[in-house]
Structure 1
Amino acid sequence: YIHRLKKGFSTTHPLLNKEVQALKNWLSIRTSYPHAESEWVFLSRKGNPLSRQQFYHIISTSGGNAGLSLEIHPHMLRHSCGFALANMGIDTRLIQDYLGHRNIRHTVWYTASNAGRFYGIWDRARGRQRHAVL
């Protein structure tokens, strides 16, 4: 699990096995870094905590190296998570809680742009109707 605290709002998220393995791999690599015993997960080559600016640079450079046509920034990782959850049909309130949004209006943005969410809606509704008890 990973614990997140933002503006006094705390959430705890489970990590997937792949994510746990990636973190373990990274922590074994970083043993060669100065200050490897630091509580910070990501360190600079000098062993200091990775700054917000350094992280921004890494993400935007990686987007450019991948040939993406738009400028990538770290917050896009969060947006992609919200859109992915919405596209999987996850309940909007659950997405709100997962992302730590206090206001549901910030979460609805992820679901509003997904026209595919309406695909098969009448078939699903009719299926439930057939099984309804009168």
Structure 2
Amino acid sequence: MKRKYLTQEEIEKLLSATDRMPFPERNRCLILMAFIHGFRASELLGLRLSDIDLAGRQLYIRRLKNGFSTCHPLLPDEYNVLKSWLRARKYLEKGADGDWLFLSLRRHPLSRQQFFYILREAGRLAELTIAPHPHMLR
């Protein structure tokens, strides 16, 4: 039977692999936040800058399936990774399409297909024996 999850070691390898990819700050933040909060791909990619309260170290999450939206604390490592991405993101802000947290190189909201590709490429670079997909981070 095919495994439907990633181990902690595999998650750590994925996160390390982002250092060898374009936009490592964004990709590390994507993977870490998906793992910590159990996001569905569309929930993660639907995050906006206005959903983040850095001063209060909180994140507002709109859940899609059960509709139960809530605030989650930002964990220390997550907070640091998020701040790193927000610093790098400033270079994409001019002409950006809205206040989406995760942008593509073309300054558009990151698509589900792009997220799948980023995760698959991180898995390849991490030399995982299993092909990761977003649901495995839940």
Calculate the TM-score normalised by the size of structure 2: 0.51
Select the residue among 12, 25, 39 that pairs with 2:84. Answer: 25
**How far did 1:29 drift?**
0.8
Which residue in the other structure is 1:128 paired with? none
From 98, 101, 119, give the equivalent of 1:59.
Answer: 119
Residue equivalent to 1:72: 132
Q: In 1, Cα distance between the equivalents of 2:137 and 2:60?
A: 17
Query: Structure 2: which 5+ runs fail to align?
Result: 1-57
Asked whether the equivalents of residues 3 and 12 of structure 1 are also in contact (C-alpha less than 8 Å), the reply is: yes
CA contact (8 A) 2:96 2:108 kept: no
- Looking at secondary structure, tell me which structure has more helix per residue: 1
CA RMSD of the aligned region, Å? Answer: 1.7
Counterparts of 2:91 and 2:80 in 1: how far apart (Å)?
19
Is the partner of 1:13 in helix, strand or coil? strand
Any idea what the Cα deviations from partners look like across 1:72-122, whole Å, max 9, x if unmatched? Answer: 0011111xxxxxxxxxxxxxxxxxxxxxxxxxxxxxxxxxxxxxxxxxxxx
Structure 1 portions without partners, runs of 5+: 79-134
- Superposition TM-score, scaled by structure 1 size: 0.53
Task: Work out which of the two has the higher radius of gyration on C-alpha atoms and give 1 or 2.
Answer: 1
SS of the equivalent of 1:68 reads coil
On the 8 A contact 2:96/2:107 being kept in 1, the answer is yes
Which is bigger in relative contact order (C-alpha 8 A, separation at least 6)?
A: 2
| Structure 1 residue 36 displacement after superposition | 4.9
Whole-Å separation in 2 of the counterparts to 1:63 and 1:15: 25
The equivalent of 1:48 in structure 2 is 108
Which structure 1 residue ranges, 4+ long, deviate > 2 Å from structure 2? Answer: 34-38
- Corresponding residue pairs, total: 78
